[in-house]
Structure 1
Amino acid sequence: MNALDYQSFADTWEERATIRTRPRRMLEDDDKLIYPLSRQPLVHSQSFLDHCPHLRDFVLVQSLYKFINDVVIFETELVDKTARNIAKNRFAIAFPFACRYDAMTVVVDEDYHALVAMDFMQQTIAMSGIDPIELPREIELSRAIPAALQRAPEHLRDAVELICVAIAENTVTNDVAAFAKDDTVKPSIKGLMADHLQDEGRHSGFWSRLVRIYWHGASDADRTEIARVLPVFIAQYLTNDIQKGFDLRLIEQLPVAAPIKQALREEAAALAYPINRHHPLIANILRFFRSSSMLDSACVQDALADYLP
């Protein structure tokens, strides 16, 4: 795919973007969960089930706060930055106006997603009476992108940033889709995720197409240099250090005896997925590499050999 083949989704955005079409979602006061049990393994640990199952809702509320916090960081500090630079033609890769227009719709969408997420945090605090514990100031992507850029030649740093953001946007789309289908959570939360998915499906295709355009015109030497840093990005992106730190802070806030906290810490430490081809996010990442045509290149196949089936 080259730049001349790019077709804008401006009309689709006008007709379907959540900022154009969705009313405010209001949190229900019902018996449904505020956050999926499947997304917080701590509540399934044996020590938690034995000693503090009555604290489940507190843990789930705090987990929702972290999820919202992660969304705000992801949308406003990372995706917004790259999309805005593309939209304003301040990117090392020159894209046609249609791409830049669509990039600006991504900026609008992502900032709106952050606003809606913050609204849900305010609603949850008001309804539950539970204030957030200390939330992380960064997400895995906040570390993974700089780690990759540091190892890339200066003239390729915008290209690497584009690819990293595209990987993340494609990964989060599938993650949000799973969340949106969970019937155990409150309808407003499911609706929030479905709204987000409505936009993210469009975004993931947008980023994949931009990478296809770039990759189509990149030299073999540049492709090889970029392939070399991909494992660095993936290894950082798939760590759970920030989640583990949050879980440990959460355990500290639980009103239980010190020996129980220690048992919970030990069980939480064992929750990480190994960073290899069996990690649950790898399938989504590889799907992006195929859709963007990057995996057609031998240098990318070699770089990702440890993750390929």
Structure 2
Amino acid sequence: MNAHEYQSFADSWERRATIRTRPRRTVEDDGKLIYPTSRQPLVTSAVFMEQCPHLTDFALVQSLYKFINDVVIFETEIVDKTARSIAKDSFAIRFPFACRYDAMTVVVDEDYHALVAMDYLQQTIELTGIEPIALPREIELSRSIPKAMEMAPEHLKAAVELICVAVAENTLTNDVAAFARDDTVKESVKGLMADHLADEGRHSSFWARLTRIYWSAAPAEDRQILASIMPVFLSHYLTNDIQKAFDLALIAHLDTSEQVKAALRLEVEAMDFPITPGHPLVGNIMRFFRASAMLEDPAVQSSLAAYLI
């Protein structure tokens, strides 16, 4: 795709963006879960279910707070930063006005998602009386993008930033969709996820098209360098170190005996989530590399061979 072939989604944004069309999501006091047990393996572990199942609601509420915190960091510190610089034409890679206009709608959407998430967090605190434990100050992307950019020569740092943000915006679509379909959780939570998903479908396409525009004009030697950086980025992005640290902190706050906490810590430490080609997040990421045309390049195929089925 060349830059002049880009078609803005401005009309679609006006008709469908959640900031234009969705009501406020109000947390219900209905007895349903506020966070899926499938997304917090701690509460379905053998020790937890045997020794402290009465603490499930506390653990799930804290997990929701962590999820919301992650959303706010992702939207405001990662996506917003890159989209805003593209919109203001201050990004090192230049794009035509139609791209910059769409980038500004992404900024509006993402900041709105963060606002809605913060509103829901505050509502949950008021409903449950459960205050958040100390939440992480960073997400995996807070580490993996700088590490990837450090590897790039100066003239390719912006390209690395663009591709990494694009990968991130194309990673979680199926994951969020599963969240939105989970009938065990409150309708407001499902609505929150469905709203997010409605905008993210548009965003994922936007970032893939911008990457395709850049990649189509990039010299072969630059493509080679960028290809070599991608496995390093993915290895740091697809970790669960921050989640594991949070789970251990959560265990420390459980109102149970030190003996039970020690057993729970052993279970968390033993949990392993290998990143294989069959992992759903890897599948989403590989679809992005195909959609952006990057995977047509032999250098990218070689660098990502470990992730391809």
Q: Specify if TM > 0.5.
A: yes
Indicate the residue corresponding to 2:100 in structure 1: 100
AA of the residue aligned to 2:53:
P
Correspondence list, 1:12-23, <5 A: 12-23=12-23
Q: Report the AA paired with residue 104 of structure 2.
A: M
Long gaps (5+) in structure 1? none
Which residue in the other structure is 1:308 paired with?
308
| 1:7-46 correspondence to structure 2 within 5 Å | 7-46=7-46
Following superposition, the deviation at residue 278 of structure 1 comes to 3.7
The residue number in structure 2 matching 1:160 is 160
1:273 aligned onto 2:273: yes
Give the TM-score taking structure 2 as reference length.
Answer: 0.99
2:144 match: 144
Tell me the secondary structure at the aligned position of residue 307 of structure 2: coil
Partner of 1:57: 57
2:250 match? 250
Could you say what the CA RMSD is over the residues aligned between the two structures, in angstroms?
0.8
8 A Cα contact 2:144 2:234, kept in partner: yes
* In structure 2, distance between residues paired with 1:53 and 1:9: 48
Please give the residue correspondences for 1:171-186 in structure 2 after superposition, counting only pairs within 5 Å.
171-186=171-186
**Hey, what's the Cα distance between the residues in 1 that align with 2:11 and 2:255?**
53
1:5 corresponding residue in structure 2: 5
Which residue pairs with 1:284 in the alignment?
284
Q: Provide the rounded CA distance (Å) in 1 between the counterparts of 2:276 and 2:144.
A: 16
Distance in 2, Cα, partners of 1:276 & 1:14: 39
Counterpart-to-counterpart distance in 2, 1:217 and 1:147: 25
> How far does residue 174 in structure 1 lie from its aligned partner after superposition?
2.3
Question: What is the 5 A alignment of 1:77-226?
Answer: 77-226=77-226
Mapped to 1, the partners of 2:156 and 2:50 lie a distance apart of 53
The unaligned stretches of length 5 or more in structure 2 are: none
CA shift at 1:272, angstroms?
2.9
What percentage of residue pairs aligned between the two structures are identical? 71
* 3-state SS of paired residue (2:171): helix
CA deviation string 1:73-112 (max 9, x = no partner)? 0000000000000000111111000000000000000000
TM-score by length of structure 1 reads 0.99
What is the CA distance between 1:4 and its match in structure 2?
0.8
Q: Determine the structure 2 residue equivalent to 1:236.
A: 236
Kindly provide the CA deviation profile for residues 273-292 of structure 1, in whole angstroms up to 9, marking residues without a partner as x: 12332433111111111111
Name the aligned partner's letter for residue 112 of structure 1.
Answer: Y
Measured in 2, the distance between the counterparts of 1:259 and 1:21 equals 50
Deviations 1:202-229 (A, max 9, x none): 0000000000100111110010000000
Q: For 1:243 and 1:15, how far apart are their aligned partners in 2?
A: 37
Residue aligned with 2:133, SS: coil
Amino acid at match of 1:58: F
Is residue 172–residue 281 contact of structure 2 (8 Å, CA) maintained in 1? no
Q: C-alpha distance in 1, partners of 2:279/2:16? A: 33
The aligned residue for residue 69 of structure 1 is 69
SS at match of 1:30: coil
